[in-house]
Amino acid sequence: MSVTIKDVEKIAQLAKLKFNEKETVKLQSDLNSILGYIEQLNELDLDGVEPLENINETSNVLRKDEAEKWLTTEEALKNAPSKTGKFFKVPKVIDK
């Protein structure tokens, strides 16, 4: 299986990218190289090879889930430059 110029143009269109002719040819070459490498990987004999779940031999180290004292709403808002009721007031960042 190989990638054609038409395939690259279709992928570029789907990704909403624009390439000149030189870039399109380079991408075609790169994609064909990637597919060639994948074909090499598909030729490997993987019988008896267990799937790898984690490259590290360690297991998850989790801390104890202990309740801690948190700030009250009043304490959190004490130094706020601007607040509305029990909420921080921030400038609008979205136009719509």
Per-residue pLDDT of the chain (96 residues; tens, 9 = 90+): 799 999 999 999 999 999 999 999 999 999 999 999 999 999 999 999 888 877 877 777 788 889 998 899 999 999 999 999 999 999 888 876
Confidence (pLDDT) at 81: 92
> Under DSSP, is residue 83 helix (H, G, I), strand (E, B) or coil?
strand
Confidence (pLDDT) at 61: 79
**CA separation, residue 89 to residues 70, 75, 79, 85 (Å):** 21, 15, 12, 9
Q: pTM for this structure?
A: 0.52
Structural domains of the chain, ranges and CATH numbers in brackets: 5-42 (1.10.20)
